[in-house]
Amino acid sequence: MIENYLWTELAAFAQYHTLAKTADALHVTQPTVTRGLKKLEAELNVPLFDRQPNRIILTETGELAVKEAQKLLAAQTEAVTKIQNYARSQQILKVGATIPGPLILFHYFQAQLPANVQINRDLLEADIVPLLDQNQYTVILSDQEIFTDTVESRFLGTEDLTVNLNQFMYLANQPSVQFAELKGLSFLVLADIGPWNDIIKTNIPGAKFLYQQQADTFSELTKYSDFPFFSTNLSRFDPDFSKRLNEDDNRVAIPIADASAKMPVYANYLKRQKNSVAPLLKLAVHQWPAAK
C-alpha cells in the first residue's frame, strides 16, 4: 500500500513544478520531498521523472501518475467530508429547501421542533440527491418526488399560488383567475422564489416582473404602491406577510386556477434516516393548511 503522503508530494510537485517550491508548500525540507518522490518511483517500479542537472520534469508516465494521485486525494477528501457530515447528521437534523413556502411553514412551527433541528434559510440550487448522499442535509423540501437506491420522498401537501390584485380591478371581482388573464400586468416579485419564477414567466404573456432582492424592500413597495404581487397558502405563516395584510391594503387575494399554479411539495431524505425524520414530517403534514 502506497502511503498517502507520497501521492500528496507528487500532486504538489505537479502544481509547483520545482522541488523547492513543493517543499515550501508542504512545509517540509527539499531533501524530504526528493526522498519521497524517489520512494514513490520505487514502489511503483516505474520512472516518473526526467532528472536533468538543473531541473526535474515529469515523464508521460509521471503525468499519468499525477492524474491518478489527484483522483485518489480528491476521493479521500470526499470520503472524509462524507464521514464528518454523517457524524454531525446523527446529532443535527438539517433541513433545506428549493422552494420558499415550506421554509416559511417550518420556521413558523420551529418552536415545536427538537433543539437538534436546524433550518437553513437560503434556497438550495444544487442537485438534491448528492446533498443528501453526502450528509450535507437530512431533509430537503422541494417540488420533486425522488426515489433512488438511497433517497425517497414523502408528500407533505400542495402549495397553491394566489395573485393579490387592487380591489378596483375588474379581475378582483372574480372567484379565481387564469394566468392568461394576467397578461401585460406588472408584478412585484421577490427574487428568490425557486421554481415559481419559471412558472409565472412561462404562463403570463407580456408580463413585467419587478424583482426585489430584499424582503424589507418588497414589503415597503407593496405598502406604498398598487402593483399586484403573488403569495401562496403558506404565505400566511410569514409574520411579515401577515403584518402587510393587517395594514391598510386595498388588494384582494384571488386564487389562480391553472393546474401549474398548484405545486406538490415533498420532503426528500435518505431511506436510512426515515425513522429519524418521521416525527418532523408528521408535524409538517399536520401544520399544512387544509385544501379549500
**Which residues lie closer than 8 Å to 180 by C-beta, 6 or more apart?**
203, 204, 205
Give the mean pLDDT per block of 10 residues along the chain (292 residues): 88 91 90 90 91 88 92 87 71 89 91 85 90 92 96 96 92 94 94 93 95 86 87 89 64 94 97 90 92 66
For the chain, residues classed under CATH 3.40.190.10 are 93-156+263-287, 158-262
* Bridging pattern class, strands 151-166 and 251-255: antiparallel
Q: Bridge-partner residues for 152, per DSSP?
A: 269
**Which residues lie closer than 8 Å to 117 by C-beta, 6 or more apart?**
92, 93, 95, 110, 280
pLDDT of the residue at 236: 87
d(CA 265, CA 99): 9
pLDDT of the residue at 84: 73
**Gyration radius of the chain's alpha carbons:** 28
* CB of 138 closer than 8 Å to CB of 96: no
Mean pLDDT over all residues of the chain? 89
Say if domain 93-156+263-287 classifies as CATH 3.30.470.20: no
How close are the terminal C-alpha atoms of the chain, in Å?
65
pLDDT of the residue at 242: 62
pLDDT of the residue at 216: 83
pLDDT of the residue at 85: 72
Q: Which CATH number fits domain 158-262: 3.40.190.10, 3.90.110.10, 3.30.2230.10, 3.40.1360.10?
A: 3.40.190.10
Give me the phi and psi of 141, to 5 degrees please. Answer: -90, 130
Q: Where are the alpha helices (DSSP H) in the chain?
A: 4-16, 19-26, 30-44, 60-89, 100-108, 128-133, 196-203, 215-224, 239-246, 274-287
Q: Which CATH architecture has domain 4-84?
A: Orthogonal Bundle (1.10)
pLDDT of the residue at 246: 54
pLDDT tens sequence across 179-230: 999 999 999 999 889 999 999 999 999 999 999 988 888 888 888 888 999 9
For the chain, residues classed under CATH 1.10.10.10 are 4-84
* Bridging pattern class, strands 208-212 and 55-58: unpaired
* CB of 177 closer than 8 Å to CB of 163: yes
Instruction: Note the Cα 60 to chain centre separation in Å.
Output: 40
